[in-house]
Amino acid sequence: MKVILFASQKGGSSKTTLYRCLAVAADQAGVGSVGMIDTDPQGTLTKWWKRRAAQTPNLLRLRSVRDDLAPTLEAASAAGLAYVFMDTQGAITESLAAVVPYADTVIIPVRASPDDLEAVPDTIRIMEAAAKPYAFVL
């Protein structure tokens, strides 16, 4: 199972929109079962999932990132999920630091604006400190 993390220090980077589009595309492409985890306290991804008629990709619910993330990912792997996509809060937080170790790859959405570009170095430092491969989507 591969865990794809979407992270950006800057809110408004279209992180959640990109995330859900890629999760649905992976699900529809038939790469295997796809799960989604929403670690953002705003719960935008969770609200979107509840509005949908489709029940896939699967929403994997956490009560607490600290307590539930590892067992939820273990259960997802045991259930045969091919991918788990994780959405994060648009800020550098303890929550981000808690989820980065579980990521196989990190996607960092960035808008072409000075504000977004100023936020990138902090995000890169976290990914490099954790030795996680990352890519930007502009």
Say whether pLDDT at 20 is over 70.
yes
Return the DSSP state at 107.
E
Average pLDDT over residues 11-35: 88
**When comparing pLDDT for 94 and 129, which is higher?**
129
- What distance in Å separates the CA atoms of residue 110 and residue 117, rounded to the nearest whole number? 7
pLDDT given for residue 87 in this prediction: 86
Q: Which residue has the tokens 């997802």?
A: 76
Which residues on neighbouring strands pair with residue 37, listed in sequence order?
A: 86
pLDDT band at 90 (very low <50, low <70, confident <90, very high): low
Element of type H or E holding 35: strand 34-38
Residue 79 CA, chain-centre distance (Å), reads 19
Closest CA to 35 of 17, 47, 46, 23: 23
pLDDT score recorded for residue 7? 84
pLDDT over 90 (residue 77): yes
